[in-house]
Amino acid sequence: MTEQQVLQIASQAMLTGAKIAAPIMIAAMAVGLVVSLFQSVTQIQEMTLTFVPKLVAVGAVVMLAGHWMLGVFVGYVHSLFASLPQLLAGG
């Protein structure tokens, strides 16, 4: 296994991780922004007010996009396992 192959596998792993995490992170950031704007307008500084809506939003994203996220991950693992004999052979 060459250095270039290791770097390619690592970059594909990071790209796959970013694809999988992106919907959850975007939803949590959007809900956090809306809740923080609401808190600044109403001057309510309750800690649970930020946690519960984010939890609901992340749960909804996982329910809606979980099948896609699992498909992306399984596709990456399949391609990694398919290239395993070539990687172990050294070419």
Residue 53, judged by CB atoms within 10 A of its CB (0-12, 13-18, 19+), counts as: middle
Q: Is 58 in contact with 22 (CB distance < 8 Å)?
A: no
Total-model pTM = 0.80
Say yes or no to pLDDT of 69 above 90: yes
For 12-24, write each residue's pLDDT tens digit: 999 999 999 999 9
* Residue 83 neighbours by CB distance under 10 Å: 13
> Rounded to whole angstroms, how far apart are CA atoms 39 and 32?
10
Question: Total structural domains in the chain?
Answer: 1
Phi, psi (deg, nearest 5) at residue 45: -115, 60
Domain that holds residue 85: 3-89
Say yes or no to pLDDT of 6 above 60: yes
DSSP designation for 46: -
